[in-house]
């Protein structure tokens, strides 16, 4: 099956620093990737849609200047959490659709557990 790889799987950073998370589609090209945040015992909440070669689309309430998204190639999207604070601690997970349509199976990265201390 299609594979989406996400790195790092776990990161601890100091408050005020920035953290970059990578999401790669390993065996298919993804013009669109999605970034979710999942707090403990909660659902996946879509943060933004990453579009290859253009600006990301952010969901309401998500600060685009804090969560920087870059989709520079058809197989790589990055999420940078800038000036991280303890409340940004969460499980971040990316996904992509192999065929590009949301009416097909979504493949997820392994997720990144971010802890801001």
Neighbours of 109 (CB within 10 A): 25
Nearer to other proteins, 75 or 112 (CB): 112
Nearer to other proteins, 65 or 103 (CB): 103
Q: Smallest distance, Å, CB 28 to other proteins?
A: 16
Q: Smallest distance, Å, CB 4 to other proteins?
A: 8
Rounded distance between C-alpha atoms, residue 95 and residue 102, angstroms: 11
Tell me if residue 33 falls in helix, strand or coil. Answer: strand
DSSP one-letter string for 82-112: -S--GGG-EEEEEEEESSS-TTS-EEE---E
Q: Smallest distance, Å, CB 19 to other proteins?
A: 18
Judge residue 71's burial from the number of C-beta atoms within 10 Å of its C-beta, 0-12 exposed, 13-18 middle, 19 or more buried: buried
Q: Which two tokens stand for residue 61?
A: 């309430």
Q: Smallest distance, Å, CB 17 to other proteins?
A: 24
Nearer to other proteins, 25 or 109 (CB): 109
Q: Which chain residues interact with other proteins by CB under 8 A? A: 32, 34, 41-46, 49, 91, 93, 95, 101-106, 108-111, 113
Nearer to other proteins, 80 or 91 (CB): 91
């Amino acid at each position: 099956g299609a594979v989406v790889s996400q790195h790092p799987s776990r990161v601890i950073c100091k408050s005020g620093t920035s953290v970059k998370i990578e999401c790669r589609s390993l065996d298919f090209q993804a013009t669109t990737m999605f970034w979710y945040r999942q707090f403990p015992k909660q659902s996946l909440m879509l943060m933004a849609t990453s579009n290859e070669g253009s600006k990301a689309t952010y969901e309401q309430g998500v600060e685009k200047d804090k969560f920087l998204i870059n989709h520079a190639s058809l197989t790589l999207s990055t999420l940078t959490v800038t000036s991280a604070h303890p409340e940004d601690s969460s499980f971040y997970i990316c996904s992509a659709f192999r065929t590009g349509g949301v009416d097909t199976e979504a493949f997820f990265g392994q997720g990144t557990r971010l802890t801001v201390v």
